[in-house]
Amino acid sequence: MGRHPLRYTHEGMVSGRERGAFATAIREWRRRRRISQLELALSAGTTQRYVSFIESDRSVPGREIVVRLAEALDVPLRERNSLLLTAGYAPAYDDTDFEDPRFDPIRNALERLLDGHRPYPAVIADRHGDLVSGNVPFWKLTEGVAPDLLEPPISIARVILDPRGLAPRITNLDVYGWHVIDALREKSRRSPDERLNALIAELTQTIPDRVRTDPNHLGYAVPLRLRAPQGELSLLTTLAHFPTAIDVAISELSLEAFLPGDAATAEALALADG
């Protein structure tokens, strides 16, 4: 059979070398999730011995076990498709363009969510953190931002932290900026993305050194403190995802909504949106 035998499947054939790539990928995902072979085996409904055989490239997993391992490791749908391809199987999850007419109900629902959040800012972002859509209060916050930062693709993190963006108006940039960076790092840790890593490296150079405490925090969360014509706004960030999505594009969307951190901010945003 040679050094790298071929394994035939219904979808085609996979070389021994490619099988080794799958074994490596499973090991990396397990280590990234910081779980043992036994924990993975229990979650995937198999045995530690079988997981060990897969990771050491001594066993060829079937399509079902590939999916179960990916689910147990909470691998994002895009990367699940990659795992299936590496193992020699066709992708299991569609990756439909968000502008596809089939997404009209979802797209319309998201737009209603954005509009319903007024007078407070809210945005929809894709997997890179680029803007998909934003409501009117969000666009009002970006007044004065360098025009090129608002040219698609619009990186929301860059709009916030770039010196030509909102950064000069953020009074607690040494705290809030690192919250943004840390969130990007966690996102990249869970779903590796070279473009996201490059953005992290870029933005890390633009914000002040990290401080350990913020004497002006609200007691339960660190707000975004932003100078505006109405005075200093205090905004809290909330995030929502689509955990039951079975389409790659939908699974990677996130809704980022801002809430007022005090009564003065609520009143100022209501007046600005009036």
Q: What is the strand order of the sheet 254-260 is part of?
A: 131-134, 122-125, 254-260, 231-240, 224-228
Shared fold status for 6-87 and 101-272: no
Report the predicted TM-score, pTM, of the whole model to 2 decimal places: 0.84
pLDDT > 70 fraction of the chain, expressed in percent and rounded: 90
Query: CA 22, CA 25: separation in Å to the nearest integer?
Result: 5
Annotated domain spans of the chain: 6-87, 101-272
> Which are the contacts of 262, defined by CB distance < 8 A and separation ≥ 6?
234
**Closest listed residue to residue 234, CA positions, set 206, 269, 207, 210:** 269
Pick the CATH number of 101-272 from 3.40.50, 3.40.1840, 3.30.450, 2.160.20: 3.30.450
Architecture of domain 6-87: Orthogonal Bundle (1.10)
Query: CA 217, CA 34: separation in Å to the nearest integer?
Result: 32
pLDDT in tens, the chain (274 residues): 333 333 434 334 445 445 689 999 999 999 999 999 999 999 999 999 999 999 999 998 999 999 999 999 999 999 999 999 999 999 999 998 888 998 899 899 999 999 999 999 999 999 999 999 999 999 999 999 999 999 999 999 999 999 999 999 999 999 999 999 999 999 998 888 899 999 999 999 999 998 766 555 555 578 999 999 889 999 999 999 888 889 999 999 999 999 999 999 999 999 998 7
Could you give the C-alpha distances from 44 to 25, 55, 74, 89, 246, in angstroms and in order? Answer: 16, 14, 11, 18, 19
